[in-house]
């Protein structure tokens, strides 16, 4: 439990190697990207702020909870503020030095929870 309690950032990054294997890294461990000079981070944060300000993109559903391995049938309504494909951003092509060492395009999804 709480295996990553000392981590407060998570930035998954995956790419396919020439042999076909997929390599996954957590950029939060090796790359400081929180400043406004990291375009992909800055734009994703701004897009998320716009979603929060407009406050009109919800996924609605229900949750049921399990207590002591017993499922309860009471459904609790739930709303989650969500992002759409249009809220994300595709990067311009760039050569990824030190990561995949290949030409790339990336898609960044806006996120919530960063103060």
User: Which whole number is the average pLDDT over 48-68?
Assistant: 76
CB 87 within 8 A of CB 111: no
Q: How confident is the model at residue 113 (pLDDT cuts 50, 70, 90)?
A: low
17-21, 70-74, 82-86, 104-108: least confident range: 70-74
Looking at the chain, the whole-number percentage of residues with pLDDT higher than 70 is 83
Q: Which pLDDT belongs to residue 22? A: 92
78-101 residue pLDDT tens: 877 777 888 888 888 988 886 667
Determine the Cα–Cα distance for residues 82 and 79; give it in Å rounded to an integer: 9
The helix, strand and coil proportions of the chain, stated in percent and rounded to the nearest 5, come to: 20, 30, 50
Report the DSSP beta bridge partners of residue 12.
26
Instruction: Return the pLDDT at 51.
Output: 76
For residue 52, report the phi and psi dihedrals to the nearest 5 degrees: -65, -45
Please spell the DSSP secondary structure of 27-50, one letter per residue.
HHHH----STTSHHHHHHHHHHHH
pLDDT at 72: 65
């Amino acid at each position: 439990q709480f295996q990553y309690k000392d981590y407060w950032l998570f930035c998954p990054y995956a790419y396919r190697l020439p042999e076909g294997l997929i390599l996954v890294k957590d950029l939060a461990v090796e790359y400081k990207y929180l400043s406004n000079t990291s375009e992909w981070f800055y734009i994703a944060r701004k897009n998320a702020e716009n979603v929060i300000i407009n406050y009109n993109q919800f996924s609605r559903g229900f949750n049921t909870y399990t207590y002591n391995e017993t499922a309860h049938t009471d459904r609790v309504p739930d709303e989650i503020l969500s992002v759409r494909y249009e809220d994300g951003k595709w990067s311009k092509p760039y050569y990824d030095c030190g990561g995949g060492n290949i030409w790339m395009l990336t898609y960044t999804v806006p996120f919530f929870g960063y103060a």
